[in-house]
Amino acid sequence: MVAKQPAKRDRPRKDQAPAAAKKRRRKRKSSWDYEDDDGDVDFLEAADSGGESEEEATGKKAKKQPKKRVGRTRKALLAEAKAATPRKKKSAKEMAPTLENGDADDEDEEDREMLEEKHRSRKQQYEKDSERLLQEVRDLALAEKKTQERLIEKLKKDITTLSKQAEEGRKKGQKEVDKQVAEKMREYDAKQRNRGGVDAEKVALQKHIEELEAQFASYKRSTGPDDVVTVNAAAVTAATAAKNSEAMIQLAQANKLLELYRVVTSTDIRLIEAADDDDQDDDCTEVVCTTTDSATGNNFEFELAVPTITSSEIEYLPSEKPPTNLKVPSYLRVSHL
C-alpha cells in the first residue's frame, strides 16, 4: 500500500498539470471548525487515479460511514486520510507532479512548525525574562528596604549618642554655673555683712549727731553772748559736716553694692564653648551674661573671662554686637566701688 500524498491547495503550474481531470478547489472553514465527510478526499483520490469517475467516488462515499471531525488540525486530517485510503501505483509521469506538490506541502508544514516552535520559544523566553526581571525588582526592593532599615538604626544610635553627649554637657555647664553662682553669693553675703557694719556705724553717727545737737542747745541756753555761741556752733557744724560726708560716702558704697547684687540676681550666665581649633590656653572660663535692668526693663549682654587662678583679675569684655537705643546703668559705668 502506498501512502497518499496530501494535495496542494495552491494553483499548479502549467508544466506540472496532471493528465487527469482538474482538481476542484473548495473553500473550507477554519481548521478548528472543520467538518468533513471524506467527500473531498475521495474526490482527490479519483483525480489522482485517473481512471475513476465521479460516480465511483460517490459510490465509495456511500459505502463509508459518515464521520465528523470538529476542532482538528489540517495535519491530523491529512494523516488519517493517508492511513485510511489505498492508492494505485502510478507511473513516473503521473507521480512527478504529485510528489512535487507533496514536497511543497511538507516544506510549508515544516516552515509552519518551525514558526510555531520559534513562537513558543520566544514566548517561553519572554515569560522567563519577565519572571527574572520581576525577581530582580523584588531583590532590589528587599535590598533597598534592608539598607533603609540599617540607615534608620544607625541614625537612631547617632541621635541617642548625641542626646547623651548634649545632656552630659548641659549638666556639666549647669554645675559650673551653680558653682559660680555659689561663689558670687558668698561674696555678696560678705558684702552684706560689711554693709551691716556700715549701717551700724551710720546709726551710731546719727545718735552722736543728736547728742551733739542736744549739747549745743544746752550750751546755747547756758552761755550769754551770741558771738561765742556762733563760733562754737561753726566749729561743731564743721566737725559734723566732715562726719556726715564720710557717712554719705559709705552710704553710696552700700547702695552700689546693693545695685550690683540686683544685677547679679537678674543675670542669666551661660558658658561659651571653645572651638576645637582654638589655640588659646585653657586658663580661664568664658561666660556670657544677659542682664535685665529692673528699673527700665532693658536687656544687655556682656562677657566675662573668669580665670582659673583666683589671684588673677576678671576680664570684662563688652558684647560684640553693641546694643541699640540702650543706656548702660550708672553703677556699671563706675570704674571702682
**Residue 302 pairs with which residues in a beta bridge?**
289, 318
Using the 3D structure, point to which of 47, 71, 88 is the last residue of a domain.
Answer: 88
Residue type, 230: T
User: What residues contact residue 239 under an 8 Å CB cut-off, 6+ apart?
Assistant: none
Nearest to 176 by CA among 79, 80, 287, 18: 287
CA distance 110 to 114: 6
Give the pLDDT score at 138.
Answer: 92
Q: Longest C-alpha distance within the chain, in Å?
A: 194
Is this model's pTM higher than 0.75 or not? no
Give the domain-ending residue among 25, 58, 88.
88
Candidate from 1-10, 128-137, 240-249 with smallest mean pLDDT: 1-10
- The type of residue at 70 is V
At 93-138, the pLDDT tens digits run: 455 555 556 667 777 888 888 888 889 888 888 888 888 899 999 9
Q: What is the pLDDT of residue 21?
A: 46
Contact 337, 198 (CB under 8 A): no
Q: How far apart are CA 181 and CA 187, in angstroms?
A: 10
* Domain tally, the chain: 2
Asked if the model's pLDDT at residue 50 lies above 70, the reply is no
Grid cell for residue 141: 526592593
**Mind listing the pLDDT tens digit for each residue in 60-100?**
544 554 444 444 566 666 666 666 555 544 454 455 555 55
Task: Say which amino acid occupies 321.
Answer: K
- Out of 59, 88, 117, a domain closes at 88
Domain membership of residue 49 (yes or no) is: yes
Asked whether residue 247 is assigned to any structural domain, the reply reads: no
In a domain, 296, yes or no: yes
Question: DSSP 3-state assignment of 316?
Answer: strand
pLDDT of residue 209: 81
Q: Is residue 234 in a domain?
A: no
Does some domain include residue 205?
A: no
In a domain, 322, yes or no: yes
Most confident of 2-11, 16-25, 27-36, 243-252: 243-252
pLDDT tens for each residue of 260-313: 777 777 777 777 776 554 555 567 788 887 877 666 777 777 777 777 776 666
Evaluate whether residue 183 is within a structural domain: no
Residue 50 included in any domain = yes
DSSP of 82-122: HHH-------HHHHHHHHHHHHHHHHHHHHHHHHHHHHHHH
Domain containing residue 332: 266-273+281-337
Angle between helix 54-63 and 39-49 (nearest 10): 140
Residues 105 and 8: beta-carbon distance below 8 Å: yes
pLDDT tens for 186-232 read 888 888 877 777 777 778 878 878 887 887 777 777 765 554 445 56
- Residue predicted with more confidence, 290 or 147: 147
